[in-house]
Amino acid sequence: MKTTNKVALVTGSNRGIGFAVAKGLLKKGISVILTSRRESDGKEAVAKLSHENVCYHPLDVTSHESVDELATFVETEFGRLDILINNAGINYDTWQHVANADLTNVQETMDTNLMGPWRMTQAFLPLMQRNNFGRIVNVSSGAGEWSALTGGTPGYSISKVALNAMTISFARHVKGTNILVNAVCPGWVRTQMGGSSAPKSPEEGAETIVWAALFPDDGPTGKFFRDKREIQW
């Protein structure tokens, strides 16, 4: 799929907020690489979008091989990546607290929610640096605010605090270039993770993520947003 549009990649975009972000970016004239762990899920999602500017590639963010394969695909197919949305996330672990948490479970959560975005950013930053353009949006959570750390959802919360720290660290690392790195809390959203009682639709949850993906060259970096407003880490 050759294109003159800006190119975005969304992790975990077969369903939930990631799928809504893919849809939102397509509406803004961006070409989207939709990714998923299971090929059948991803291809079904692409078919649902039924848009000429979307293509598919498999991705498991916990696998170096998978991330490297995707980076080679993007380099060969597009020669650039303008927007990276680190959306894939797991394990809102309400059943445990910090003092009794199963640390194997915590480690698995970290591998997806923190190391996944870290792997992806390491893999795609060189491509962004080469073109001196990049917008990286890390999908975080209110559970990752310092004030929210009261011992509950320990794996999830601490993985999101760490993701926020990674956001600041990368933003400072590329400061002075045209690469902006920010974190967004989508709010409480009706997805498999958020459940059916959540007040926001996936499209509403995607809004601030899409907004941050389209920041202008002098836009903010190293910040945390919800509902298009800056919030405290």
Ligand X SMILES: NC(=O)c1ccc[n+]([C@@H]2O[C@H](COP(=O)([O-])OP(=O)(O)OC[C@H]3O[C@@H](n4cnc5c(N)ncnc54)[C@H](OP(=O)(O)O)[C@@H]3O)[C@@H](O)[C@H]2O)c1
Given the rule CB under 6 A, which residues bind ligand X? 11-12, 14-18, 36-38, 41, 59-62, 87-90, 112, 139, 141, 185-186, 188-189, 191-194, 198
Residues 6+ apart with CB under 8 A from 75: 127
3-state secondary structure of 182: strand
φ, ψ at 216 (rounded to 5°): -70, 175
Q: How far is the CB of 130 from ligand X (least distance, A)?
A: 25
Q: How far is the CB of 74 from ligand X (least distance, A)?
A: 16
Q: How far is the CB of 189 from ligand X (least distance, A)?
A: 4
Q: How far is the CB of 23 from ligand X (least distance, A)?
A: 13
- Cβ atoms of 217 and 171 within 8 Å: the answer is no
Does 156 qualify as catalytic in the annotation? yes
Cα dihedral 13, 18, 21, 23 sign: positive
**Residue among 187, 193, 186 nearest 209 (CA):** 186
* 13 versus 31: smaller Cβ distance to ligand X: 13
Question: Rounded CA gap, 155 and 157, in Å?
Answer: 6
* 112 versus 164: smaller Cβ distance to ligand X: 112
* 148 versus 193: smaller Cβ distance to ligand X: 193
Q: How many residues can be counted in the chain?
A: 233
* 62 versus 178: smaller Cβ distance to ligand X: 62
Question: Rounded CA gap, 61 and 12, in Å?
Answer: 9
Of 19, 78, 118, 156, which residue is the catalytic one?
Answer: 156
Supply the residues annotated as catalytic.
156
